[in-house]
């Protein structure tokens, strides 16, 4: 074939030794189920060898679908928590399914709000992943007006939503600390009561509920510290019996910022919590699992499902350097 010429389905069919109709069904309509495995393998191998690329515009016109998913964020960063792990997970899932991700930031209030539903329709997506988790009423109206199927991520809703199971995560984390021998475990959230009503993310309440469930289940007393500044660990002096702290943390903590005593920090986050180079017990959000559940749900809605129940995805416990046990052993030797 002359260099620069576009490879056609007819070329692939000739190379694979099959009919044009068979190649079209396999490459353009994803109907592998109609043919033997060896036929599908031969056709796809021929397409790769020839460098065949489907005409996405023609495919969209035939199917009525763009094979694109829109990720919707708010202009206010506080309302859209968008960790890179989530975007990476969505891209990975969609790539495996031959789809693409489109990013859109929306004004759901004030100037520009009237055009928001139109903007969502104009991005030519088959469905939406709505990453918007506080004060969601205005955005719900925008999404409904767009007429597009949508799954919400990290937002507490009765249906069509996928969230991390923060209550179970906190309960599992504290249960681990208790099993390691800790009995005086303090829960810290400086912002629990700072944001109330629709501004407060559901995880703040659910994590504390999980902590309390684990403590009370072991016959231990829950203790909730509410410092003015969470990152200033001077407040720990008010809890001399504490051997472990549970809190939401990001990144690494300088050991010099901690009180001069044996203490285990445990927490929640996108990455494992660290004190210096030592990894502390952390419930890490499974954004890859969330991405799979989101796209699975969105595909179901695109294919005609009316509504789906909310899905909770379990976080994973990262122990790292056996930090809980390590700190406890040190304290026992003193």
pLDDT tens, residue by residue, 304-333: 999 999 999 999 988 766 555 555 544 443
Chain segment 265-305, per-residue pLDDT in tens: 888 888 887 777 777 888 999 999 999 999 999 999 998 99
Q: Which fold has domain 166-285+317-333?
A: Rossmann fold (3.40.50)
**Which regions of the chain carry the CATH code 3.40.50.2300?**
68-164+287-314, 166-285+317-333
User: Is the pLDDT confidence value at 192 over 60?
Assistant: yes
**pLDDT score, position 85:** 92
**pLDDT score, position 171:** 96
Q: Check: CB of residue 57 under 8 Å from CB of residue 256.
A: no
**pLDDT score, position 332:** 44
pLDDT bucket at 247, cuts 50 / 70 / 90: confident
Write out the two tokens for 281. 């017990």
Beta partners for 313? 164
| Candidates 3.40.50.2300, 3.20.20.140, 3.30.70.940, 3.30.70.20; CATH matching 68-164+287-314 | 3.40.50.2300
70 membership: H or E segment, kind and range: strand 68-74
Beta partners for 267? 247, 282
**pLDDT score, position 93:** 94
308: how many CB neighbours lie within 10 A of its CB? Answer: 17
**Which regions of the chain carry the CATH code 1.10.260?**
9-54
**pLDDT score, position 331:** 45
Write out the two tokens for 293. 């559940």
| Candidates 1.10.260, 1.10.10, 2.40.50, 1.10.3470; CATH matching 9-54 | 1.10.260
């Amino acid at each position: 074939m002359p260099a620069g010429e576009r490879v056609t389905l007819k070329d692939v069919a000739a190379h694979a030794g099959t009919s044009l109709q068979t190649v079209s069904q396999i490459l353009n309509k994803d109907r592998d189920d109609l043919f033997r495995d060896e036929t599908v393998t031969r056709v796809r191998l021929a397409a790769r060898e020839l460098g065949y690329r489907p005409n996405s515009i023609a495919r969209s016109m035939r199917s009525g679908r763009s094979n694109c998913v829109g990720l919707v964020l708010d202009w206010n960063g506080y309302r859209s928590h968008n960790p890179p792990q989530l975007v990476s997970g969505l891209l990975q899932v969609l790539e495996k399914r031959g789809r693409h991700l489109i990013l859109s930031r929306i004004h759901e209030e004030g100037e520009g709000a009237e055009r928001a539903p139109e903007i969502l329709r104009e991005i030519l997506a088959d469905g939406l992943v709505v990453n918007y988790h506080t004060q969601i009423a205005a955005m719900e109206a925008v999404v409904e007006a767009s007429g597009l199927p949508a799954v919400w991520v990290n937002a507490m809703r009765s249906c069509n939503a996928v969230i991390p199971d923060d209550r179970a995560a906190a309960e599992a984390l504290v249960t681990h600390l208790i099993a390691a021998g800790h009995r005086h475990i303090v829960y810290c959230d400086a912002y629990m009561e700072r944001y109330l009503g629709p501004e407060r993310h559901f995880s703040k309440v659910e994590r504390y509920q999980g902590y309390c469930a684990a403590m009370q289940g072991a016959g231990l007393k829950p203790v909730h510290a509410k410092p003015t500044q969470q990152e200033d660990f001077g407040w720990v002096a008010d809890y001399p019996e504490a051997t472990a702290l549970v809190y939401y943390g990001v990144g690494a903590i300088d050991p010099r910022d901690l009180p001069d005593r044996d203490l285990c920090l445990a927490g929640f986050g996108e990455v494992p919590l660290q004190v210096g180079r030592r990894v502390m017990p952390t419930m890490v959000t499974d954004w890859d699992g969330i991405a799979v559940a989101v796209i699975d749900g969105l595909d179901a809605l695109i294919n005609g499902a009316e509504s789906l129940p909310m899905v909770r995805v379990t976080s994973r416990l990262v122990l790292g350097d056996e930090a809980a046990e390590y700190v406890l052993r040190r304290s026992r030797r003193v």
